[in-house]
Structure 1
Amino acid sequence: MRHIRLFAATGAAVAALALTACGGGTGAQDEGASSPDVARTDASGTSGGTAAGTTGTTTGDATGTAGGTASGATVTRSHTPGAKPDASAGRTSKGTGTRSTVLCNGTNTTVTAQVLKRPLNHMLLTVKNTGGKICSLPYYPVLRFDEMQWVPQADEATQPQAVVSLAPGESGYAMALLSAADGSGTGGQTAHKLTLAFQGYTPNSSGGPSATPALPAKGVYYDSALKVTYWEQDLDLISGW
């Protein structure tokens, strides 16, 4: 896969976003835990199922919890690959009585990072809007494990048709492939800290303060195969990724 070095000119914008995000999040973090499979979370941030997930709280006034049952089937996507978020989508409200839309970030959301047993070597990222306004999740999460010196890229095939917008209490999702199942990945190591940076309405721009969702106490193994999906409003769209 293609790695982008922090100080390379072609990846400077994304790298800066990942590095500067480290100091952006606030709030105490809970200890993370593994889950047996993909979780299906409802608008309130809590789901039923055979296994309970673990909450990793950043900032805001609510905590998201994930749990669920297995969902490994291939899912037919409804989005159009190559579609770009509208740079002006929801920034201001129009008409009387409507609310303005803000960017989702570490100040108005809670974020959980849930390591899954199925699909193998995957981690589910859940962002719950804990603020009082609709918030937008453009593009994809920018991940940084510990002091990682490169930026994981996104699978362009998962790009949604429109930017994801979350009403208060709603959740958005992304998936991370942590390592190659066939052992073809290189530079494998175990991380104990995750910083998640949010993007703005233009690619590689900052969306505001970052989040630091908790990881399992034993850490998370990743290698050069690490990549992510775009944010999705419907978990089913990436549950079979």
Structure 2
Amino acid sequence: MRTNRIRTTTLAATALVAALSLTACGGNEGTKSAGPAPAAASTDSRTTESTAPQTSETTAPPAGTPAENASTPARGKHAGGNGNGTAHSGTEKAAPATTTPRTACATANTTVAVTKVSRPINHLLLTLKNTGSGLCDAYYAPHLGFDGAQSVFPVLEDSKPQAVVTLAPGEEAYAGIGLTGEPGQSKLHPSKNLSVYFAKRDGSTYDKPVDLKLPAKTYWDDNGFVTYWQSDRADALMY
């Protein structure tokens, strides 16, 4: 009887060991089917490490003071750039254009000469030269006075040019003086001196004239005239 109990006990122990062995094998297969979780975690770790910024390559330089940043031009080719990589703000002011001073032709910035011409007869020529450093406008016609006469010598309106004559430094303008009309129609007046008054833009004249010495044996009558200032000598003597 004791032998049977021992055998029975041995068989039961053997069965228990076998059952435990089968249970252990089944547990390992269940773990395998779930997938290697540690391996997945390792993969995520590598991905994070590869995309993380490297300190030695992406660290931005320290920002300067506002004054330093303002003094450094923006770089890059974009709207407002000049094509070579330097950007412009688009609000830069153009360099001021240089302008030549401009005024009316007067005694302070010109010289005037009077000469006798052979053609047409009984004519004189006034030559005005810009001696200033800027442009001057020769407005209207010169106002003439022979020997200090108070009356203004007649102006020939038909000689009015299409535009005011503008003289650059060194350039000249011309006015023709017809001394007489038809012979015998009016009394002749001998004169030795001529006063030339310059006109302003509004048509009035400057107070100070240019006083010129007339050519010898100069005579004029009440039918004489003076032309507007012309840019061409021939235009001044065509009347």
More RCO (CA 8 Å, sep 6+): 1
Q: Secondary structure at the match of 1:154?
A: coil
- Deviation (angstroms), 1:213: 2.3
Structure 1 distance, partners of 2:148, 2:210, is 15
CA RMSD across the alignment: 1.5
Work out whether residues 106 and 208 of structure 1, in 8 Å CA contact, stay in contact via their aligned partners in 2.
no
Larger radius of gyration: 2
Whole-Å separation in 2 of the counterparts to 1:109 and 1:144: 19
TM-score, structure 2 as length reference: 0.57
Aligned-partner residue type, residue 140 of structure 2 = Y
1:122 counterpart residue number: 123
Aligned to 2:194: 194
Which secondary structure does the structure 2 equivalent of 1:140 belong to? Answer: strand
1:53-97 superposed Cα distances (whole Å, 9 cap, x missing partner): xxxxxxxxxxxxxxxxxxxxxxxxxxxxxxxxxxxxxxxxxx621
- For the 8 Å contact 2:229–2:236, the answer to whether it is kept is no
Q: Which amino acid aligns with 1:98?
A: T
SS of residue in 1 equivalent to 2:140: coil
Instruction: Give the unaligned 5+ runs of structure 1.
Output: 1-94
Q: C-alpha displacement at 1:207, in angstroms?
A: 4.0
CA distance in 1, matches of 2:117, 2:136: 27
Is the contact made by 2:148 and 2:194 (CA closer than 8 Å) also made in structure 1? Answer: no
Query: 2:230 maps to which residue?
Result: 232
Residues 121 and 181 of structure 1 are in contact (CA less than 8 Å); yes or no, is this contact kept in structure 2? Answer: no
Moved over 6 A (4+): none
Check 1:207–1:149 CA distance in 2 against 1; reply closer, same or farther (3 A cut).
Answer: closer
Q: Is the 8 A contact 1:105 1:209 kept in 2?
A: no
Structure 1 length-normalised TM: 0.56
Equivalent in the alignment of 1:54? none
Whole-angstrom distance in 1 between the partners of 2:117 and 2:172: 18
SS in 1 for 2:141: coil
Identity of aligned residues (%): 36
Seen in structure 2, the aligned counterparts of structure 1 residues 181 and 114 have a Cα distance that, compared at 3 Å, is farther
Is the CA contact 1:179–1:224 (under 8 Å) kept in the aligned structure 2? Answer: yes
Residue 172 (structure 2) aligns with: 171
Distance 1:151 1:208, change over 3 A: closer
